[in-house]
Structure 1
Amino acid sequence: MRRQTRERGLCELYQQDPEGADELIFGRKAHADRRGFLRGAGLAAMGAVVGASIPFHRNMPAGLIPAALAEDTAGFTIAGKDGLRVLNDRPLNAETPAYLLDDDITPTARHFVRNNGIAPTKIDADGWTLKIDGLVNQPMELSIADLRERFEVVRYALQLECGGNGRAAFNPPASGNQWTVGAIANSEWTGVRLRDVLNAAGVRPEVIYTAHYGADQHLSGDPAKDAVSRGMPMWKAMDPHTLIAFEQNGQPIHRMNGAPLRIVAPGWPGSTSQKWLTRIQLRDVVHDGQKMGPTSYRTPRYPVAPGEKVPHEAMQIIESMPVKSLITYPRSGHTLPVDHRSLEVRGHAWAGDEHVTEMHVTTDFGATWQKAELESPPNRYSWQRWRAHLRFPAKGYYEIWARATDNKGRMQPFTVAWNPKGYLNNAMHRIAVRVKV
């Protein structure tokens, strides 16, 4: 009987046995110090695959998939979005390739899409109302016109990131949409401060948490079920940058980004920022709505081994997102023209409720680091532009890694601790560059 075989992709091979994949593909065996020196045929094989010699091959960690091979460029675009890769169609989710996120303000057409249910099909901004109830002195029902007329209208550049951004890199794989690095955006949002609206309703002393509700439909079609209903502690709701927004980049919000009304709670998982907003309830307990359960948007309170089962009582709700950065120029796989050995690299950095104080880049797999220029943000909770001018000592294959450090001294790691749902991956972003001569 003929033995059946199954083909495995490069990422699957490395997920199952990274050092074995090294040996199988490149003839490279890992050493005890994990440096994984390439020699002879193995070095030649890897150089042939990436399309150039590798000047700093001695610094490459064992089991590292070259960035030139790690990008997944498969996918297709959706209407009204420029170049996004669709990860799922029920619910619809799509991310933006890093090189399309180079703008300081993310264009609406390049803002990622994250849905938990089915987006509403009937959207009437003129007839839309928002209910404020629960533990308030004066329940209210407000139109968008009411919000504009009764409260100060503000406009901020605010970063929103999906809590599962980076999930595709976890090993063993975590369930959920396999985001790479593109579930992040920094658009300008116009609206009113959530705290102003809540204060107008009169917040009772016993209130500790908000509860949010939207017009999207549960995937089951059951009208009694919410697609997602999350909330936040009152201190975050009262932050002056937490908005009830009705414009995105000076225009009505894109339908897939929550038109006509949404919450923007910057620096926290995007699921906190309810889309298609219809109701805000104030509660004296932590909200227990859909996607607030023991595994949704929660991580272990302590480090766990990859694949380990974590009891529900050991999981905690994600609040501020970790420090992170992205290389937006050049696009990974860039080749310098002949007789060029220098390159400007740039991108953005952000840090949840904090801010970024330093950026560093490396071209020799982390053996040495160069400090990058870092700009101040236009307002709190906006990402920050960074750039660096790099020189390459010889022709060949290089990887550029980027590392941000926040105001509390926390910096991006090369890899992050595993967690069951693949949240909060803030590992350093890396791209491939080739130098011809």
Structure 2
Amino acid sequence: MNDKNRLFRTTRSTDPEVQESPIHFLKSLSTSENLFFIRNHFPYPTLNSKISLRIYGEVYKPLVFHFEHFKQMKSKSLKVMLECAGNKRSKFEPRVYGEQWENGAISQGTWRGITLNELFKYTGIKSNVQEVVFEGYDFGERPDGKHASFIRSLPISKALHSDTIIAYEYNGSPLSFKRGGPLRLIVPQWYAMASVKWLKNIYLVEKPFSGPFQTDDYVYYPNKTNKDNAFPVTTVNVNTTIQQPLNFSKLGVGEHEIKGISWSGKGKIVEVAVSINDSEWISADLKKNSQGYTWTPWSYKWKVKHKGHYSIRAKATDSTGSTQPFRAYWNQKGYGYNAIDTIYINIE
């Protein structure tokens, strides 16, 4: 598909399309449509004009909802950040297979849609339900040679969370095809693989779902040679990206502003600390942010008097006490990278 806006993003793959947001240059709390990152597993699906969403399985009344039905229901708007589980994968040592994301597999904005609670009022839910399964229209061949649709599930408790929604608008406009429209799932606090795009079917099951994007991909495999001690990728780790200055910048003696963003799926950001050349950690200034599902901007005034090479590190701590480690939790597929962010600056 032709997309003139790809010029604003860094392309990681063209088939399927994978593009990285220019995160170092984003200043707004809402990412514009032309800057939002793209992560597809398959070619774009072909959709007809009569989009419907079928709900079935362990419900009392299976139903098919058409797009116009959603506009007639009670809606909810939420500002939510989405981060690909592979964000910053290129930083893992030793290196791992997969899209070699740097810092830009993350974007955010305001989503409007219908809660699953609202939808299930029409179908009812049987008491034996353990999970809710979401199937997108996209399908194709996986790297392992098998064909599949993109299908994932949520535990019933997460599916029924009051802020889990089926979105049909983004930043006040109809949800675009490239953002997963006309209907996509939005799951705050979890990595973006949970927010299934191009929704086609929702079915409720009485036992854990085991599709390839559930039990093969999006799983932490901590050992290099086997799949022992594996566990699923779910909640977004506490994390930070230094936006300015850019890594390996050349600056002069004087005062410079270090700026960045921090986020967490577990709680609100309560502190960001900066260290210059591994000196003591000093708290940065946080921009007040009452919206718990978005990143928190921060800044630090750095006064440098001497020429030379400098390292600048930044780490965040959230309201649960989680803080960034010096070394990320290595895993075979490179998910959840959240080591302390570091850049290097030359003062001339």
Using the size of structure 1 for normalisation, the TM-score is: 0.74
Post-superposition offset of 1:245? 0.5
Paired residue for 1:321, among 236, 244, 248? 236
Is 1:272 equivalent to 2:209 in the alignment? no
AA in 2 matched with 1:354: G
Partner of 1:288: 210
AA in 1 matched with 2:35: R
Paired residue for 2:300, among 380, 388, 392? 388
Post-superposition offset of 1:82? 4.7
AA in 2 matched with 1:256: K
- Larger helix proportion of the pair: 1
Paired residue for 2:92, among 170, 175, 181? 170
Deviations 1:245-288 (A, max 9, x none): 11111122232221211001122121111101111111111212
Q: Report 1:74-85 matches (<5 A).
A: 79-85=4-10
Partner of 2:19: 94
Partner of 2:321: 409
Give SS of 1:227's match.
Answer: strand
Q: 1:399 to 1:103 in 2, by over 3 A?
A: farther
Runs of 4+ in 1 over 6 A off after TM superposition: none
Post-superposition offset of 1:225? 4.5
Paired residue for 1:351, among 261, 264, 281? 264
AA in 2 matched with 1:269: Y
AA in 2 matched with 1:143: H
CA distance in 2, matches of 1:128, 1:247: 15
Is 1:96–1:183's contact at 8 Å kept on the other side of the alignment? yes
Q: Report 1:325-344 matches (<5 A).
A: 325-336=240-251, 338=252, 340-344=253-257
Give SS of 2:71's match.
Answer: helix
AA in 1 matched with 2:72: E
CA distance in 2, matches of 1:419, 1:78: 34
Partner of 1:132: 55
- For structure 1, which runs of at least 5 residues remain unmatched after alignment? 1-76
CA distance in 1, matches of 2:227, 2:140: 27
Deviations 1:317-369 (A, max 9, x none): 11111101112233334443x5x5112222221111322111111221x3221
Post-superposition offset of 1:138? 1.7
Q: Percent identity?
A: 28
AA in 1 matched with 2:56: D
AA in 1 matched with 2:65: L
AA in 1 matched with 2:177: R
Is 1:398 equivalent to 2:310 in the alignment? yes
Post-superposition offset of 1:78? 5.4
CA distance in 1, matches of 2:194, 2:217: 12
Post-superposition offset of 1:425? 0.6
Is 1:227–1:290's contact at 8 Å kept on the other side of the alignment? no
Is 1:361–1:371's contact at 8 Å kept on the other side of the alignment? yes
Is 1:160 equivalent to 2:82 in the alignment? yes
Using the size of structure 2 for normalisation, the TM-score is: 0.92
Is 1:112 equivalent to 2:37 in the alignment? yes
**In angstroms, what is the RMSD of aligned CA positions?**
2.1
Deviations 1:159-204 (A, max 9, x none): 1111111211222221211111211111211112222212332111
Is 2:266–2:320's contact at 8 Å kept on the other side of the alignment? no
Post-superposition offset of 1:291? 0.8
Q: Report 1:178-197 matches (<5 A).
A: 178-197=100-119
CA distance in 2, matches of 1:290, 1:101: 34
CA distance in 1, matches of 2:121, 2:238: 32
CA distance in 2, matches of 1:398, 1:111: 32
Q: Which has the larger radius of gyration?
A: 1
Q: 1:167 to 1:144 in 2, by over 3 A?
A: same
CA distance in 2, matches of 1:427, 1:78: 33
Partner of 1:425: 337
AA in 2 matched with 1:106: T
CA distance in 1, matches of 2:176, 2:250: 36
Deviations 1:380-424 (A, max 9, x none): 212212222221231223232210111121211122132111111
Q: Report 1:245-260 matches (<5 A).
A: 245-260=167-182
Is 1:142 equivalent to 2:86 in the alignment? no
- For structure 2, which runs of at least 5 residues remain unmatched after alignment? none
AA in 2 matched with 1:140: L
